[in-house]
Amino acid sequence: MKIRIMIYGTGVLVYLCAILVTMRFTLPDMARFVWFLAAYLLIGLDVFRKLGENLMQKKFLTEYTLIILATVGAFGVSRYTEGVLVMILFELGMIFEAYSTDNAKRSIESMINIRPEYATRKVRGKEFKVDPSALKIGHTIVIRPGERIPVDAVVTSGTTSIDTKALTGESIPENVWPGEKIYSGCINLSAAIEAKVTALYVDSTVSRIMEMVEDAQNQKAESETFVTRFSRAYVPIMLICSLAVMVYPPLTFSYGNWDTWIYRGLIFLIIACPTGLVMSVPIAFLGGIASAARHGIVVKGGNYLEDLAKADTFIFDKTGTLTEGVFRVTEVKAVGMSEQELLRIAAHVECHSNHPIAQSLKEAYQGEIKETKVYRMREIPGFGVNATFEGQRIYIGNKRLMERQKVECDEVRQNGTPVYVAVGDRYAGYILIADTVKEEAKSTLQYLRDRCRAVLVMLTGDTESAGREVAKELQMDYAYTNLMPEDKLEQLEDFMGLQDGGERLVCVGDGINDAPVLARADVGIAMGALGSAAAIEAADIVLMDDELPRIVDAIKIARETLRVVSQNITFAMVVKVLILILAAVGYFGMWEAIAAEVGVMFVVILNAVWVVRYQV
């Protein structure tokens, strides 16, 4: 950027010197031509480079083609001063656009770049500062107050408060104790702790988020694609119109007046350049992505903002999305053993799982859990888990898991989620788990109903009694229960089949079993950067905490972004058509045309940049 500005400044200096010399001395036309040509080539170096890149990609008719034809034409009719000035102002607009884009990208990175600079590894009682990327799973790290957590880990020693604001947007610090997970990018506040690394740096939460932000800056929205397609049709039409202005009048009603009409045709070409239009749309979407990042929302591309603004069907997972995901054991029914023994078995088998149901089982047991007694643990999405515990294969999950293992079990009709337990092929009983609806769920869904006229759907693998109760409380339009991941995908396809071309479907979830539907939906929203890695990777938008109102914030930002895009396109087109007409009939000279085009370009770019500061 600095080199580009230096070359541009040198060209402007040469241009000013050429004007001063020609005003003071009478120079031969060839000397004037060479002097102004040198300034023209220096100033337009970047324009010629971009034209060359377009030609290599077989893009022959672009705004760069128009501006070079117009300025070369001005040289052809000896309008050297005006021809160079056109290039000066055009390149100035390009530099301003590049600066605005870089500034927006830096804004995003400053809000999201929470990557730690170093990690402190502990080996045999000694501490070493290392690069976070050098850490391996199982390494012990020390995090002191004020330091960022370098990688995802589990606390092994010490208690402290963690500032998660940079990651989740939540201003209230979280307290952590031994056994709890901590995530890269958060800041340790109150005391030194030791932790065991659970993920490589490249797989840690902060790295995944940064990758998503960087990818988002390269994604094109539908409106951007429209502008690109529009330019391909627009440029040849404008070329034909400018030729008509140059040729038709001298051959008909203004016979022989070639100089006047060629000059007007060149002015027509300058005004016709769609620079402001082409620049403003991607900057507006980049601004929308930056604004979303400021509110704790990672959007992987501008196209997802556009789709979100058009959404009219919202499909939600239940557990952890619409409900708190904080389960409590409400009933234990054991068969052939005591209730405490059933809880002991279930808590041990689930000890390596972070699922909310597993946490509730461990809390209900309250006894010591010996993880070394559990091995060969396997999670089966849509069914449950199984593991070997004290020499026996234990199966814990829903009724489908029992049917799969050909184990006869009780039919539970109480409200809640029954967790069935089988020891080998013998039924051992069930544990009933209850969940609660999130406080903010009702207000969020009410907004979607009132402001988006949305159809609200719940897809869950939970039982019919538990699912229907939540759906009734939240007034969902449709609720489907007892679904496997493939069943959820099938239901999603059915709803997508009912959409027309202008409608969009949004899916919201947080678990690994939600990953297929998040990937398939027009817009997939993952609840919480601390949730399932598969869900985060599959989603198009990631909410940095588990707050449902963030969906409303994202919709407001998306709509504001599209409003700015629409304003820019309308303003640029109306002004351009008006000036084209005035130029064709002779009311606009080349100087006025240059000022008008640059003015339009600056207005739409400034309007687009404003989106970054939008407050929901």
Q: 370 or 434: which carries more pLDDT confidence?
A: 370
pLDDT at 445: 96
pLDDT at 313: 95
The answer to whether 377 and 383 are in contact (CB under 8 A) is: no
> Average of pLDDT values for 86-93?
78
What does the mean pLDDT of the chain come to?
82
Domain of residue 177, CATH code = 2.70.150.10
| 275 pLDDT above the threshold of 70 | no
Domain annotation covers residue 414: yes
pLDDT at 428: 94
pLDDT at 162: 86
Domain annotation covers residue 93: no
CA distances from 365 to 219, 351, 378, 389 (A): 49, 11, 21, 16
**Confidence band for 309, pLDDT divided at 50, 70 and 90:** very high
**Confidence band for 348, pLDDT divided at 50, 70 and 90:** very high
> Average of pLDDT values for 422-427?
93
Residue 540: closest CA among 580, 588, 504: 504
User: Residue length, the chain?
Assistant: 616
pLDDT at 441: 93
pLDDT at 216: 47
Strand partners, 314: 456, 506
Domain annotation covers residue 411: yes
| Annotated catalytic residue 152 | no
Listed residues 402, 419, 434: the one ending a domain? 434
Lookup: tokens for 450: 């009132």
- Cβ neighbours around 99 below 10 Å, total: 14
d(CA 149, CA 118): 9
The DSSP secondary structure of 458-522, one letter per residue, reads EE-SS-HHHHHHHHHHHT-SEEE-S--HHHHHHHHHHHHHT--TT-EEEEEE-SGGGHHHHHHSS
Listed residues 382, 416, 434: the one ending a domain? 434
Indicate which residue of 163, 317, 462, 514 is catalytic: 317
Domain annotation covers residue 417: yes
Domain annotation covers residue 156: yes
Work out the angle at residue 210's Cα, subtended by the Cα atoms of residues 209 and 211, and round it to the nearest 5 degrees: 90
Domain annotation covers residue 69: no
**Confidence band for 532, pLDDT divided at 50, 70 and 90:** low
Domain annotation covers residue 558: no
Listed residues 180, 199, 218: the one ending a domain? 199
> Average of pLDDT values for 108-131?
79
- Phi and psi of 410, rounded to 5°? -70, 155
Domain count for the chain, please give it. Answer: 2
For residues 566-596, one letter each, b for 16 or more C-beta atoms within 10 angstroms of the residue's C-beta and e for the rest, the string is ebbbebbeebbeebbebbbeeebebeebbeb
**Confidence band for 169, pLDDT divided at 50, 70 and 90:** very low
Domain range for residue 429? 328-434
d(CA 366, CA 389): 18
> Average of pLDDT values for 70-87?
80
The answer to whether 413 and 433 are in contact (CB under 8 A) is: no
Query: pLDDT tens-digit profile of 394-421?
Result: 999 888 899 999 999 988 877 777 899 9
| 282 pLDDT above the threshold of 60 | yes
| 38 pLDDT above the threshold of 90 | yes
Query: pLDDT tens-digit profile of 207-220?
Result: 766 665 555 445 55
Domain annotation covers residue 129: no
What does the H/E/C string look like for 15-44? HHHHHHHHHHCCCCHHHHHHHHHHHHHHHC
Query: pLDDT tens-digit profile of 536-580?
Result: 667 788 887 778 999 999 999 999 999 988 888 888 888 888 888
